[in-house]
Chains A and B, each alone.
Chain A
């Protein structure tokens, strides 16, 4: 197991290097410098600005010093908001985004698993078709459509929920969390249905039933453990996806999270902020994929065994 983790960690490094390099040079390739659309500034100010953002140095040394800063966890100053660092802005938005992502993850795991298990108990019956059709709706209604629709129905027509904000009015976290969760809930439902169907046809389930155990114990105790492996493997990347994919929801509901900052930075051409957030999201995604891989090996005795054999 430690060998496996080390192996995966070493695999993650080149990925991160590619992300950093690609982001850095893409941003440098941008037509016009970051200050070129600014009103004419005195030459000294221009030089001072360039020195501050290291634009006066050759590209290679800019790249190396950016790498060096990154290793120390320093994303540099913001281009658009003088006096604020990218780190500050990332950590100002992260807690909100993480909270939103966590709620969405919980909703999708609980609802999705329940729907998937219910569907798998009676395949090809109404009990299967109903939740699975709902899952199809979850997949086909994108968040940027579902969000406004939920606001329209529950916020405006029925007037049950606040239409925007985060943590200002009680209940204003419900709609954004639901919107963000819908697609993932659908995937979890499909995954857990598939997993449960496969597990429930196995011999040890028949044995459990033959022992005379009540059906709910067979399903919840013996079935769920194996049936949920695909869901667990999905949860890690899903959380990374929820964090990095929340910008639509944050934009729609005007939530001051990382995603909204990113979209704003994209519109403001705040280059260091764009680079910083891109790299930060990449690190998150790589880290959660890594965790998911480790969890998958840990949960599945067959994979564990296979890996041990290969390592020895």
Chain B
């Protein structure tokens, strides 16, 4: 009988367990579904956008939502829905790519520091501490001013800011992991350092990394929107939600929909990501697992 109980217990792996817990969290599920939907819309934008991106209708000008233009048009008679879709594409792309940059740097840096330990670790983490204390928002503005406002630089600049916390989290994980028997076993099997890092350490840090990644995406998107709002991020004719909000804010007195719809799009995305991130944290956090 105890054998059966053991069997049942073993059947639930860490990931399956986390998945079950995540599925019970309705807000997180709703966030995840909304997010997938938004990504599909962003991917399909070139085919589903109702109007051409550059199409103007100066005779029409700004018009409130109607059957022809679901979200209305801006002062140049451009369809707002089309622009919100295209803007979302860029905002989401910035969110994912810049987070990807942060993920890559952070995980590698954290793993190396944690695995090497000793003086290497001390020097590497001191550097992180120093970078942490910098006024990054201001540095990004400085970078954008000096090197011009281009998209690649924006990705790099944001990614370069956001990797710090990731590196700290991963390092902490690796430090505890490397004292466990399975790493000792891998070492005694004669595996190379790089193989151990790649095959044994990084996969085992995935839980916290996934959680933190989900929470980094919204902060990256906020940063982009914020820079675009100030006129230092995405430049026209390209569009992003931050840029649309900034235009909307200028004309909100006469044409409030130009502010409200891009704002709603950005907020829904941020809500979804935060709910999903919180849900994942609850599902994957080993401290509250199994209660």
Q: Which A residues have a C-beta under 8 Å from some C-beta of B? A: 11-12, 14-15, 18-19, 22-23, 26-27, 29-31, 136, 139-142, 144-145, 147-149, 151-152, 156, 244-245, 247-248, 251-252, 262-263, 266-267, 269, 274, 277-278, 281-282, 285-286, 289
Contact = CB atoms under 8 A, between A and B. Distances in A.
A157 to B, nearest CB: 9
User: In the complex, which of the residues B137, B142, B259, B270 has the most CB atoms of chain A within 10 Å of its own CB atom?
Assistant: B142
B138 A152 contact: no
Interface of B: 129-130, 133-135, 137-139, 141-148, 218, 222, 225-226, 229-232, 242, 245-246, 248-249, 252-253, 256, 259-260, 263, 266-267, 270-271, 274-275
Given A144-B226, A152-B259, A251-B230, A285 B142 contact: no
B142 A23 contact: yes
Contacts of B135: 19, 244, 278, 281-282, 285
Given A145-B259, A248-B229, 11 more contacts: A15-B130, A31-B148, A140-B267, A142-B222, A145-B263, A147-B249, A151-B252, A245-B137, A263-B230, A274-B145, A282-B133
Nearest to B144: A266
Contact of A152 (B139, B230, B256, B274): B256
Contact of A140 (B226, B249, B271): B271
A156 B137 contact: no
Contacts of B139: 22, 278
Contacts of A152: 252-253, 256, 259
Contacts, number: 110
Contacts of B134: 15, 18-19, 22, 282, 285
A199 to B, nearest CB: 18
A19 B130 CA distance: 9
Given A144-B229, A266-B145, A281 B138 contact: yes
Given A18-B130, A282-B134, A282-B135, A30 B271 contact: no
B229 to A, nearest CB: 4
Contacts of B133: 12, 15, 282, 285-286, 289
B85 to A, nearest CB: 19
B226 A248 contact: yes
Contacts of A289: 133
A286 B148 CA distance: 28
A251 B245 CA distance: 14
Nearest to B278: A136
Contacts of B143: 26
A149 B263 contact: yes
B262 to A, nearest CB: 9
Given A136-B274, A248-B226, A289-B133, A145 B267 contact: yes
Nearest to A29: B146
Contacts of B256: 152
B45 to A, nearest CB: 22
A29 B146 CA distance: 8
A129 B45 CA distance: 36
Nearest to A136: B274
Contacts of A145: 245, 259, 263, 266-267
A263 B140 CA distance: 12
A175 to B, nearest CB: 14
A144 B252 contact: no
Contacts of A281: 135, 138
